[in-house]
Structure 1
Amino acid sequence: GPIIVVIGLSLATTAANDAMLHNSHYDLKYFAVAIFTLLITIIFNMYLKGFPSMIPVLLGIIAGYVLAVIVGIVDLQTVAAAKWFSLPAFDAMFINYHFKWYPAAIIGMAPIAFVTMTEHMGHIMVLNKLTKRNFFKDPGLHRTLFGDGLSSIIAGFVGGPPTTSYGENIGVLAMTKVHSVWVLGGAALFAIIFSFVGKISAMIQSVPTPVIGGISFLLFGMIAANGLRILVDNHVNYELKRNLVITSVILVIGIGGTYLQLGKFQLTSIALATVFGIVLNLILPEKASSEK
């Protein structure tokens, strides 16, 4: 539970910066657009019925975008200049690979896997709660982790960025209550089709950061709230010092951005908080001496 709270709240600074800052300076106009986007999305989520109630995030982004255009923080020149049909920037060539061992690169990159695994397991725990299923058993954590890692390998070989599960998507699932893999697959298909429509690609790129920040307030908070939900559903007793200690250490290390650096090896805040949580959970007694 506390780890999932950390996953959500560790992204809070990103959401806040997107909502407030323009070229690293506070901008009241940006903040107003972000708050409007947040409030209108909440209203859509709470009061709409039928199909519109399933797409409050999309409607919120559209409403925030319209306001951003009105107040003049959207550059529409790139949209106007974009072509309707445009091929993505494919770059195919034959490459001669010469194998060479790079231990420094491996040591520097490998710890990222621990972060990915930690977040992946946290996301699966949230999905278990949202869908009333146990994905740790079916299809199994070993299969979901394998898929997560395999997708990053494939992406790397074709020149793409590493892939992983994303907290924003978990937040959308929590809001819409739509958990169908067919819907997610359909969304992926539309994303591929839209990549060939230059106007749409340019319009998506023109969405200003305060609109994204306003949506992120809700989506990142949804992740943290689901961490709290896990604690409540499992009736965690915070009258016990053990539970207070474990939760306190996880939250401060994880949200505070504490990390372990040993040469080029780095254990990031979320991974470090997870390690501390596991170790404390294993070694601390059920009750402190003063509670026995």
Structure 2
Amino acid sequence: MTKKYRNPEAILDIHEKPKPLPWLGLSLQHLFTMFGATVLVPRLVGLDPGIALVSSGLGTLVYLLITKGKIPAYLGSSFAFIAAMQMLMKTQGYPAIAQGAMTTGLVYLIVAMIVKRSGSAWLDKVLPPIVVGPVVMVIGLGLAANAANSAMFNTAGEYDFRYVFVALITLALTIFFNMWFKGFLGLIPILLGIVSGYFVALITGIVDTNIITQASWFSLPNFEIPFVQYQPTLQIGAIVTMAPIAFVTMTEHIGHLMVLNKLTKRNFFEDPGLSKTLAGDGVAQIVAGFIGGPPTTSYGENIGVLAITRVHSVFVIAGAAILAVALGFVGKISAVILSIPNPVISGISFVLFGVIAASGLKILIENKVDFDKKKNLIIASVILVVGIGGLVLEVGTFTLSAMALATVLGIALNLILPEVSRSEED
């Protein structure tokens, strides 16, 4: 019997279980990291944030179950569907969003079956290091502008020095905790950074405590379950609107797997296999749509936590998922986390997004990508500028995000361009 592989760089590897108290702290760290973005999506669309928490937790547990507990990924509310959901909410109400969300999950399942039959060996040709490296960098840097804006502008859209001050102090404290603390405290620098930043934000007066005082301790989310809360009918418009976006989020799904492969020193495309990861994501989206939540997707923020802490345990991810489900019913605690101001999250994001981007750069360096070759230089240039610049392709109601467009262009250029240009042949 062969000995199971253990990543020597990990403090806690994928199947290693922490002790109870550290386990709680590590899981809370992931919960706090994903909370702001996960509840922001339903707030923008008009859904109950409590349902988003429950659906993200259940979706993550489903994903871990289907991938056999081999991938430490947390699933939260997807931003890719916001525009489509806003339009459907105004014109047809939540039942249309639910049907669209469940349809996107079915698209994932169909693609998963195709991948299972054809295998994933084609990925090495479609996604070589020259494509993977810049795409991973775009995943990290693509949200850099949003993080910076959230650190500068208040809710009225005005530049606020207090916001910048809180973001920079949060950043500085997080770096300090990460570099100088050891033991258990050295494993939770993100959580410590958020808590410290929150107290600084309280002192500067940018925390809305009314959210906390007005919240009740127990709060039942407004679930939207078919045949219970509403009678479902076929919504062709919702299906046509949301189904194509599944292919956009699939590129993000694959991009996040690339980062996780690098962090954990494994190949998840082979084990448990891309078909399993797509199926897990698809079923999670169906579960979310069934109970009234927005579609889910893997979160780069939580991947950033894995990179910084080097704690890759799926038990920690599962703990965060269980806490998310529980908090969906605890109004007070949800309100406390909801009251965390944007500059605190931004201060943390400066580190998280940067670590992901640096992972992409590391891929290029370790694979010794030759940038004297014109093909490599062009591919990297296009991916980085399109992805970080935020170029979006819109055709009717279909929208291709900047990250997805950059990935598609990178793959296409890699397949079309010759290995050596004519000028290099001379």
Q: TM-score with structure 1 length normalisation? A: 0.94
Cα–Cα, structure 1 residues 77 and 276, in superposed 2: closer, same or farther, change >3 Å?
closer
Q: 1:98-150 CA deviation, whole Å, 9 max, x = no partner?
A: 335x1x43332223212211111111111111111110000001110111122
Aligned 1:120-135 pairs, distance under 5 A: 120-135=253-268
Cα deviation for residue 260 of structure 1 reads 2.4
Q: What SS class does the counterpart of residue 281 from structure 1 fall into?
A: helix
Counterparts of 1:124 and 1:210, CA distance in 2: 28
Tell me the residue number matched to 2:415: 282
Tell me the residue number matched to 1:89: 221
Letter of the 1:234 partner, please give it.
Answer: N
Whether the aligned pair in 2 keeps the contact of 1:107 and 1:265 (CA below 8 Å) is no
* Aligned counterpart for 1:36 among listed residues 169, 179, 187: 169
Tell me the residue number matched to 2:424: 291
Tell me the residue number matched to 2:148: 16
Tell me the residue number matched to 2:199: 66
Cα deviation for residue 281 of structure 1 reads 0.5
Cα deviation for residue 76 of structure 1 reads 2.0
Q: What SS class does the counterpart of residue 179 from structure 1 fall into?
A: coil
Tell me the residue number matched to 1:197: 330
Residue range with higher mean Cα deviation, 175-184 or 255-264 = 255-264
Aligned 1:73-112 pairs, distance under 5 A: 73-83=206-216, 85-91=217-223, 93-100=228-235, 102=236, 104-112=237-245
Cα–Cα, structure 1 residues 200 and 96, in superposed 2: closer, same or farther, change >3 Å?
closer
Cα deviation for residue 94 of structure 1 reads 4.7
Cα deviation for residue 73 of structure 1 reads 1.0
Q: 1:20-63 CA deviation, whole Å, 9 max, x = no partner?
A: 11121110011000010011101111111011111100000000
Counterparts of 1:94 and 1:125, CA distance in 2: 40
Whether the aligned pair in 1 keeps the contact of 2:392 and 2:400 (CA below 8 Å) is yes
State whether structure 2 residue 360 is matched by structure 1 residue 227. yes
Q: What SS class does the counterpart of residue 297 from structure 2 fall into?
A: coil
Letter of the 2:250 partner, please give it.
Answer: M
Counterparts of 1:78 and 1:271, CA distance in 2: 36
Counterparts of 1:13 and 1:113, CA distance in 2: 25
| Aligned Cα root-mean-square deviation (Å) | 1.6
State whether structure 2 residue 300 is matched by structure 1 residue 187. no
Q: 1:170-219 CA deviation, whole Å, 9 max, x = no partner?
A: 00000111111111111222223333433311111111111011111111
Whether the aligned pair in 1 keeps the contact of 2:221 and 2:329 (CA below 8 Å) is no
Letter of the 1:15 partner, please give it.
Answer: A
Counterparts of 1:186 and 1:265, CA distance in 2: 36
Q: 1:246-291 CA deviation, whole Å, 9 max, x = no partner?
A: 0011111111222223333332222221111111111212222222
Counterparts of 1:96 and 1:40, CA distance in 2: 51
Q: What SS class does the counterpart of residue 399 from structure 2 fall into?
A: strand
Cα–Cα, structure 1 residues 42 and 259, in superposed 2: closer, same or farther, change >3 Å?
same
Cα–Cα, structure 1 residues 113 and 37, in superposed 2: closer, same or farther, change >3 Å?
same
Aligned 1:125-204 pairs, distance under 5 A: 125-204=258-337
Counterparts of 1:11 and 1:211, CA distance in 2: 15
Unpaired runs of at least 5, structure 2? 1-132
How many corresponding residue pairs?
Answer: 289
Counterparts of 1:269 and 1:195, CA distance in 2: 32
State whether structure 2 residue 376 is matched by structure 1 residue 243. yes
Tell me the residue number matched to 2:100: none
Cα–Cα, structure 1 residues 233 and 158, in superposed 2: closer, same or farther, change >3 Å?
same
State whether structure 2 residue 364 is matched by structure 1 residue 256. no
Q: What SS class does the counterpart of residue 286 from structure 1 fall into?
A: coil
Unpaired runs of at least 5, structure 1? none
Counterparts of 1:62 and 1:26, CA distance in 2: 24
Q: What SS class does the counterpart of residue 340 from structure 2 fall into?
A: coil
Counterparts of 1:265 and 1:78, CA distance in 2: 36
Cα deviation for residue 95 of structure 1 reads 2.9
Cα–Cα, structure 1 residues 147 and 66, in superposed 2: closer, same or farther, change >3 Å?
same
